[in-house]
Amino acid sequence: MAVQLLEKTDHYLLGIWKMDEDEAELLQVLGLTEPLTQTNRVRRQEFLSVRAMALEMGIKPSEIAYFPSGKPYLVNKKLTISISHTKNYVAVLLSNHELAGVDVEQCTDRVRKIRHKFMHSDEEAWLKQITNPISEKGGHQQITKPINETVGLLLHWCAKESLFKAVVEDGVDFVQELRIKEFLPLDVSGRFKGVFLRTGRSFEIDYRIQPDFVLTCSFSEESK
């Protein structure tokens, strides 16, 4: 099996699946015999990997459905489900919180080119204050204060994507309506906060930093 991580907290169950199995193996794991509708090989891999991860988390593939907006939900279950994928990985989040979301992003410098799409000037000013290269200790990456700018941007982007998945409102402006607060990551995992300014609702945002990806889980305790 290709489970990279299966972690339970007081707020959610998080699963990360590394996509290193071929399509035939995944079909066998899921017991699927019907042909898939996706024509793109990568999309098929993501589709199957999400369902394989969900199965490991106690969710049958047939229980995953989608609203017209594309947001996933679980049939006949009161749990919230959120799904994300990036190169080589998928992430699945199950939560008792009504408003919860997950996002995983590949570590790449390309995030610098789109920073204007999600960074508010206040966030840029704060990031500038805490920017510095990642240090290495004992052969492993560690985030120390201050942090690498690309990692900081990736965490902001990832956090706002998970917030976007958590809220139910349409037409969310990433720059003007989603704001990251108390952003001071000191390690490869931790927590900061976010606010959806349209409603004033606050969110806790757990983060993970890995060599291949960054991941955030957002949830609002007010929605439990």
Q: CATH code at 15?
A: 3.90.470.20
Output the pLDDT for position 131. Answer: 79
- Most confident among 14-28, 97-111, 138-152 (mean pLDDT): 97-111
The average pLDDT across 4-25 equals: 93
Write out the residue range of the structural domain in which residue 198 sits: 105-223
Distance from C-alpha of 67 to C-alpha of 63, rounded to nearest angstrom: 13
DSSP assignment of the chain equals --EEEEEE-SSEEEEEEE--S-HHHHHHHHT--SPPS--SHHHHHHHHHHHHHHHHTT--GGGEEE-TTS-EEETT---EEEEEEETTEEEEEEESSSSEEEEEEE--GGGGGGGGGT--HHHHHHHHHTB-PPEEETTEEE--SSB-HHHHHHHHHHHHHHHHHH---SS--TTTTEEEES----SSEEEEEEEETTTTEEEEEEEEE-SSEEEEEEE-GGG-
Distance from C-alpha of 128 to C-alpha of 43, rounded to nearest angstrom: 37
Q: Are residues 79 and 7 in the same domain?
A: yes
Nearest to residue 179, comparing CAs of 196, 158, 198? 196
Q: Are residues 122 and 204 in the same domain?
A: yes
Q: Are residues 54 and 124 in the same domain?
A: no
Residues in the chain, how many? Answer: 224
Is pLDDT above 70 for 151? yes
The average pLDDT across 76-103 equals: 96
Q: Which tokens sit at 180? A: 């990251």
Q: Which tokens sit at 107? A: 């570590």
Higher per-residue confidence, 111 vs 223? 111
Predicted TM-score of the model (pTM): 0.90
Q: Are residues 55 and 10 in the same domain?
A: yes
Residue at a domain's end among 75, 96, 117 = 96
Total domains in the chain come to: 2
Q: Are residues 53 and 136 in the same domain?
A: no
- If phi over 0 gives left and psi between -120 and 50 gives alpha, with beta otherwise, what is residue 110? alpha
8 A C-beta contact, residue 61 and residue 30 = yes
Q: Are residues 147 and 51 in the same domain?
A: no
Nearest to residue 183, comparing CAs of 221, 117, 130, 119? 130
Dihedral over alpha carbons 218, 221, 16, 188 (to 10 degrees)? 60
Q: Are residues 185 and 137 in the same domain?
A: yes
Output the pLDDT for position 1. Answer: 55
The average pLDDT across 115-123 equals: 97
| Residue-averaged pLDDT of the chain | 91
